[in-house]
Amino acid sequence: MKNDKIKVFLAAPRGFCAGVDRAIEIVKKSLNKYGSPVYVRHEIVHNKHVVESLKKIGAIFVEELDEIEDKTRPVIFSAHGVPKSVSENASNLKMTYVDATCPLVSKVHREAENIKKQGMHILLIGHKNHPEVIGTMGQLPKGSIDLIESAEDAHNYINISNKKLAYITQTTLSVDDTKEIIEVLKSKFPDIYEPKKEDICYATTNRQEAVKKIASKCEMFFVIGSRNSSNSVRLVEVAKKNGSKSAELIHSESEIPFSQIKNCKTIGISSGASAPEILVTEFIEELKKQFTIDIEEVEITRENITFKVPGKLN
């Protein structure tokens, strides 16, 4: 029985970004062109729902190329990007590969190469072991890039290279946390070289801004996304930091905390850049079974960016 009225603030933009759309399209078009199976190295995007739906139409997911038994089949590299050694290995194995790296991640890769050519030493602000960070660090010879994960790391960093320093960042970081790290680096190394345009992508920035706009009005905040999705986890942190009493990630194994929601008059909802809108719809449908809800979508900007798929798939 519906027993409570709840106001739902729905953040916009939310969900799929252009890089994720493109990566999923690349898998589908590769299946159309080459037939099934096609292999995908690493989750194409960090979302179980997306991965499972692509498996159903003939995609096989592996972590490394040596897991692929039939090397005559094509392999797709995920949206997060891969170290150069992976594409070199695929070429040596004479494999057909399609690179689904998000163009905004590729931009950071090119930036790293250009900075290295100018003789500078690179600091990458990002999260250790995230596939995007592994891919970016793998664009250059070992030792060319040092990872900075926190303001504390920045504060303790010693430049033993004796070269001028430059920084680049992972594309899916918290805008505010990154700003703090950059401020520490700039005060410690006043002549540090910075990217002409910041590396955190438009989609990450927009989703965080949309959450900031409504967080303080929400007693609870829910972000639909995966546990290994950096941008989804950051949205939970942003909601907490910006005034929501509690915020949590709703992933594939989550139980919806109805007993807590019952005590709320207002809740907020957003979704990470790799979460399909159907998951938001399903979450709202579950709420409707228990509560009378009034939804207000709060849109801070309209996104109309699209990225083309590689020409060889058309």
Residues 217 and 289 in one domain: yes
In a domain, 310, yes or no: no
DSSP per-residue letters across 187-249: HHSTT-B--SS-SS-HHHHHHHHHHHHHHTT-SEEEEES-TT-HHHHHHHHHHHHTT-SEEEE
In a domain, 213, yes or no: yes
pLDDT of residue 14: 98
In a domain, 305, yes or no: no
Mean pLDDT by 10 residues, the chain (314 residues): 81 97 98 97 95 98 96 97 97 97 98 97 97 98 97 97 97 96 98 94 97 98 96 97 97 95 96 97 97 97 96 90
Whether residue 37 has a cis bond before it, omega within 30° of 0: yes
Residues 47 and 117 in one domain: no
Query: How many structural domains does the chain have?
Result: 3
Residues 125 and 164 in one domain: yes
The residue whose two tokens read 């010879």 is 141
Taking 3-state DSSP, the helix, strand and coil percentages for the chain, each rounded to the nearest 5, stand at: 40, 20, 40
Domain CATH code at residue 67: 3.40.50.11270
Mark which of 172, 200, 228 sits at the end of a domain: 200
pLDDT of residue 196: 87
Domain CATH code at residue 224: 3.40.1010.20
- Supply the range of the domain harboring residue 218: 5-16+202-299
Of 274, 185, 280, 293, nearest in space to 228 by CA: 274
Residues 157 and 112 in one domain: yes
In a domain, 140, yes or no: yes
User: From CA 260, how far away is CA 256, in angstroms rounded?
Assistant: 9
Tokens of 51: 């991965």
Of 213, 22, 176, nearest in space to 105 by CA: 22
Count Cβ atoms within 10 A of the Cβ of residue 189 and give its class: 0-12 exposed, 13-18 middle, 19 or more buried.
Answer: middle
Residues 151 and 238 in one domain: no
State the catalytic residues: 132
In a domain, 243, yes or no: yes
In a domain, 241, yes or no: yes
Mark which of 41, 64, 99 sits at the end of a domain: 99
pLDDT of residue 3: 53
pLDDT of residue 70: 95
In a domain, 304, yes or no: no
pLDDT of residue 4: 80
Residues 294 and 209 in one domain: yes
**Contact at 8 Å (CB) between 171 and 132?**
yes
Residues 214 and 196 in one domain: no
pLDDT of residue 1: 44
Residues 209 and 285 in one domain: yes
Residues 187 and 262 in one domain: no
Mark which of 154, 174, 200 sits at the end of a domain: 200
User: From CA 106, how far away is CA 119, in angstroms rounded?
Assistant: 20
**Contact at 8 Å (CB) between 313 and 26?**
yes
In a domain, 36, yes or no: yes
Residues 111 and 89 in one domain: no
Distance set, CA 151 to CA 169, 182, 201 (Å): 13, 8, 20
